[in-house]
Structure 1
Amino acid sequence: METTFTPFQALIGGSLIGLAAVGLMALHGRVAGMTGILNGVILPKGDWDWRVAFLLGAVAAPVVILLLTGQSLPLQEEIPSLAITLGGLLVGVGVTFGGGCTSGHGVCGIARLSPRSIAATLTFMVTTFITVFVVRHLLGGF
């Protein structure tokens, strides 16, 4: 299992994520943490409208790419439903105990030099490295 190196697409995608985070902070004074935004849609507060618009924009992006290029984004690996379900549950637990997700801590928190976000992001990264190593090298991949 090998990941393709795509620096141009990564630069564009990272720039758009950064622009969205800065825009949300500038226009609404809010952190672009996806789980926090989703939580505000599921358990509505007074700012439901911008949250729905933000999530719809994130979900609509692959459709826009398809319309502009005529190509869908390829899924390179078939992942068992059980692995997706367990992964989603573990992420949900981590987000709850970590006080936020990778986008909130990693993109927005580090940009604000938040010590808590820096520690959380380091924890995410170390855990990711260990998980990838275990899955690919000790379990033989999926």
Structure 2
Amino acid sequence: MPKIYQHSGSHLFLLFWKASHGVMRYDHKSIAKQGFASLSDFAVLEVLLHKGALPVNTIGEKVLLTSGSITTAVQRMEKKGYVRRERSEGDARVVLVHLTELGREVIVDAFAAHAANLDTLFSEFSEKERTQFADLMRKLGRRSQALTE
């Protein structure tokens, strides 16, 4: 019979699962307070704010959306006047998505408020604990990736 540890893999996963669901509920509520009905809309604008103009498929990879979902999100943001699509000057096959001035205004304010909300969430951790948490999340991510390749 296998030895059962207080912090077995199944117990750690359950703790992680419950915490991640709670964090995601908090995150969605924070984003909704900024006027976004969808996490994907916020994520598209946020990645463009921080990375600049990108091809649609690259945005999808960065915000973990399928090809169809990212196309729909970009179209939604385009209708609102937050983004515009243009063919790349270097490669006409590539369509780049750019923030408009309106989109920049919307996401700069929304991101600042959302970042402050996330700082409130993580204020439970000391600076040392934040560093440990970041290190452990990276380590867990690398391990799970290695085991699924």
Q: TM-score range by the shorter chain?
A: 0.3 to 0.5
Higher strand share: 2
Larger radius of gyration: 2
Q: TM-score if structure 2 supplies the norm length?
A: 0.35
Larger relative contact order, structure 1 or 2 (CA cutoff 8 Å, min sep 6): 1
Higher helix share: 1
